[in-house]
């Protein structure tokens, strides 16, 4: 009995001791297994908390903490490691076999390793950082920059491409100290303080080349080179830059590049941008940034102490950017720019049968090359303070259309049955619906007799179209505008401001209704949309969908049956009269060998009917009707008052139109 009790006591004691051991283990380990500690370790890696990672290593890690943190930082930031994923393959005798997968600058990398865990501490080995790494090995990352895609016109002419520029810089060991900074700065439009700031970088050595500024590689640039290299320590190299061969003529269209900012880096995280990257900031450069940019090539290698290759960890081939071919005819683009370059204008040229945009011009303009080579403060300020606003892209904007809307009013009226094209509305120089308008009258410069639709379009009679809009009525006129998508987002590769027929919360009273009939009121039209609507008059009532990227023609019309076939043909015939009739407002551009149709427009911009200080916008749309070389051009010019009104636009349309028709 005593023996049995003694045996039971021994068993109980063993159990108690085991429980104590287990309890102590749980107290010191928190109940974790070896693989749990490995998971904790790499969770800290995601947060870049290298200090706490070091604290999880065994008491004899064989590496100094500062060295450990610096090594992890340099390697993981160098390979741009992110999005870590850990897989525990097996655990045996507290040795954890794992695979760590991460995304890097050279693609996905999986690092396989084993680590011993003792009392919650990991035994350090270099492969914890990267498989194949040893203490005297280094990780190297090499890169090959992608060539940005070109922007081409329909004939393969380069609108944006790779070019060369001069790059001036300093070699510190060859300078006369800071004695020549002022002289160098005066040549490069930099202050001595700016040069000192550039020369204060920690990486600079006596034989380093410290770049200061890029400038054009042309005759004036060569003259500057000759002055610069006469100064000790100044060196000038040739560098590759983005180049826009047609300068101001295409800059609003192509857009330009700028160096990325913090917002860009955050927005495009993981897309291969760094602090030195350029990004499309406007125009085609911005809209097609993802296609044009390409993807840099990268290779991650482990090398030994002699810089000999040990292992290629990952590699990614360079992918050059794609070329973007536009429907633009750069010869026509240049011609329109040359004619209106001194005006504040917008021009849209298109093939009215296909919708291909042949030219998109905004004047005055700027040169995209200046954004590449850089502005000094004075140049940038002058560009922004220019009263003509060369940075404003006018073909994106909306403007009061004036008489350019009359054919549209007429077409809506014909389709609604409110306009009888042969009816004489009685010629009047001034008119009001009734006495409720007080002193407000619609006036016109030309009141033809008979006062029918054809004559009203040929002579551009405001009163006729005010009466016509009143007869159409508010509901039918607005319904017509809505059918034409006026006020809706314009489907186009570049962002365009939406047109409108009334302001928000507008009452659209009878007076506004009448004014809308001849293109005033609260109407604002985008030039691209106005041109597209005019295409309906040579497409039996269908509005063509404009497009800008070659071989990407939309599958369907923008608005099918916007007008009936009969209405479209009636308006087309009347617009032919605007050009062919000697009394027509567009007769100055008449061609006896090519049938043209068109409409002028003069929009008044003033505070009230009595305001004599306001300005005027001039419009002109001209199009072929049966040519083998179809074209439609819409141009708007600001400030044409006392310069011939819309006649100024007509006169300057001759050269661009002829350059295209007779090429």
Cis bond upstream, residue 378 (ω within 30) = no
Is the Cβ–Cβ distance between 514 and 470 less than 8 Å? yes
426: left (phi over 0), alpha (psi -120 to 50) or beta: left
The answer to whether the beta carbons of residues 618 and 519 sit under 8 Å apart is no
Write the CA distances from 234 to 178, 182, 319, 549, integer angstroms: 12, 13, 35, 45
Nearest to 345 by CA among 332, 328, 368, 361: 361
Nearest Cα to 467, choosing from 523, 521, 516, 533? 516
* CA pair distance 608, 616, nearest whole angstrom: 13
Angle 565-580/406-416 helices, nearest 10 degrees?
A: 150
Tokens of 149: 């895609």
Burial (CB < 10 A; 0-12, 13-18, 19+), residue 323, is middle
User: What sign results for the dihedral spanned by CA atoms 26, 29, 34, 38?
Assistant: positive
List, in sequence order, the alpha helices (H) in 417-558.
Answer: 453-459, 462-472, 474-483, 510-517, 527-534
Token duo for residue 403: 């008489």
Report the alpha-carbon distance of residue 574 to residue 453 in Å, rounded.
8
The bridge status of strand 324-325 relative to strand 151-152 is parallel
Residues forming a β-bridge with 117: 122
Active site residue 479: no
Contact of 316 with 107, CB cutoff 8 Å: yes
In the block, residue with structure tokens 């009816």 = 423
Q: State the number of CA atoms in the 13 A half-sphere of 562 facing the CB.
A: 29
Q: Which residues contact 334 (CB under 8 A, 6 or more apart)?
A: 246, 249
CB 459 within 8 A of CB 583: yes
Q: What angle do CA 207, 181, 242 make, to 5 degrees?
A: 70
Angle at 392 between CA 347 and CA 512, to 5 degrees: 70
Closest residue by Cα to residue 315 from 296, 331, 337: 296
Residue carrying the six token digits 């403060």:
377
Q: Strands 138-144 and 121-122, how do they pair? A: unpaired
Per-position DSSP letters for 370-411, written without gaps between them: HHHH---HHHHHHHHH-TT-TT--GGGS-B--GGGGHHHHHH
Rounded to an integer, what distance in angstroms lies between the CA atom of residue 533 and that of residue 546? Answer: 10
Of 335, 347, 403, 535, the active-site residue reads: 403
- Residue 268, preceding bond cis, omega within 30 degrees? no
CA 507 distance to own-chain centroid: 37
Structural Rg of the chain based on CA atoms: 37
Contacts of 45 (CB under 8 A, 6+ apart): 53, 72, 76, 84
Just list the catalytic residues: 403
């Amino acid at each position: 009995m005593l023996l049995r009790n003694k045996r039971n006591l021994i068993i109980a004691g063993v159990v108690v001791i085991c429980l104590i051991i287990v309890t102590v283990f749980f107290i010191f380990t928190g109940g974790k297994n070896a693989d749990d500690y490995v998971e904790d370790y790499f969770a800290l890696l995601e947060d870049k908390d290298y200090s706490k990672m070091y604290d999880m290593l065994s008491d004899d890690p064989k590496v100094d903490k500062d060295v450990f943190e610096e090594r992890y930082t340099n390697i993981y930031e160098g390979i741009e490691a992110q999005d870590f994923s850990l897989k525990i393959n097996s655990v045996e005798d507290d040795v954890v076999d794992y695979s760590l997968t991460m995304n890097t600058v050279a693609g996905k990398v999986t690092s396989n390793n084993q680590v011993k865990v003792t009392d919650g501490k990991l035994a350090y080995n270099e492969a914890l950082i990267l498989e194949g790494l040893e203490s005297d090995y280094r990780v190297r990352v090499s890169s090959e920059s992608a060539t940005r895609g070109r922007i081409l016109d329909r004939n393969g002419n380069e609108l944006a491409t790779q070019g060369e520029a001069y790059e001036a810089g300093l070699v510190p060991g060859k300078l006369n100290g800071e004695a020549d900074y002022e002289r160098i700065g005066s040549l490069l439009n930099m202050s001595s303080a700016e040069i000192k700031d550039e020369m204060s970088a920690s990486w600079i050595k006596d034989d380093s080349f410290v770049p200061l500024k890029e400038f054009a590689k042309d005759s004036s640039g060569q003259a500057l080179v000759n002055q610069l290299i006469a100064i000790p320590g100044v060196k000038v190299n040739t560098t590759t830059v983005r180049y826009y061969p047609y300068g101001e003529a295409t800059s609003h269209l192509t857009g330009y590049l700028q160096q990325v900012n913090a917002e860009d880096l955050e927005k495009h995280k993981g897309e291969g941008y760094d602090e030195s990257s350029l990004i499309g900031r406007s125009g085609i450069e911005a809209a097609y940034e993802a296609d044009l940019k390409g993807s840099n090539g990268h290779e991650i290698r482990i090398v030994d102490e002699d810089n000999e290759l040990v292992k290629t960890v990952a590699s990614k081939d360079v992918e050059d950017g794609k070329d973007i071919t536009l429907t633009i005819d750069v010869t026509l683009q240049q011609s329109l720019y040359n004619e209106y370059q001194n005006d504040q204008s917008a021009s849209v040229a298109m093939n009215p049968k296909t919708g291909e945009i042949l030219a998109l011009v905004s004047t005055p303009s700027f040169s995209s090359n200046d954004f590449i080579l850089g502005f000094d403060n004075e140049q940038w300020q002058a560009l922004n303070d220019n009263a003509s606003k060369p940075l404003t892209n006018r073909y994106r904007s909306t403007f009061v259309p004036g008489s350019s809307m009359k054919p549209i009013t007429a077409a809506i009226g014909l389709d609604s049955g409110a306009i009888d094209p042969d009816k004489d509305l009685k010629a009047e120089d001034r008119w009001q619906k009734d006495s409720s308008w007080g002193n407000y009258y619609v006036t016109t410069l030309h009141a033809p007799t008979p006062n029918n639709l054809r004559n009203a379009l040929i002579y551009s009679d405001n009163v006729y179209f005010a009466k016509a809009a009143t007869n159409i009525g508010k509901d039918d006129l607005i319904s017509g505008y809505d059918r034409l998508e006026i006020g809706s987002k314009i489907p186009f590769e570049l962002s365009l401001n939406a047109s409108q027929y009334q302001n928000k919360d507008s009452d659209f009273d009878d007076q506004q209704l009448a004014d809308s009939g001849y293109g005033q009121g609260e109407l604002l039209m985008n030039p691209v949309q106005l041109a597209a609507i005019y295409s309906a008059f040579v497409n039996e009532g269908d509005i063509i969908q404009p497009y800008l990227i070659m071989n990407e023609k939309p599958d369907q019309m923008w608005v099918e049956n916007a007008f009936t076939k009969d209405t479209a043909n009636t308006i087309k015939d009347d617009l032919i009269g605007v050009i062919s009739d000697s009394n027509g407002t567009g007769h100055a551009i008449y061609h006896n060998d090519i049938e043209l149709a068109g409409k002028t427009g003069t929009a008044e911009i003033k505070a009230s009917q009595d305001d004599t200080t306001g300005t005027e916008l001039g419009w002109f749309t001209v199009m072929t009707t049966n040519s083998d070389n179809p074209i439609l051009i819409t141009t708007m010019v600001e400030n044409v008052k006392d310069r011939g009104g819309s006649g100024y636009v007509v006169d300057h349309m001759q050269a661009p139109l002829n350059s295209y028709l007779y090429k």
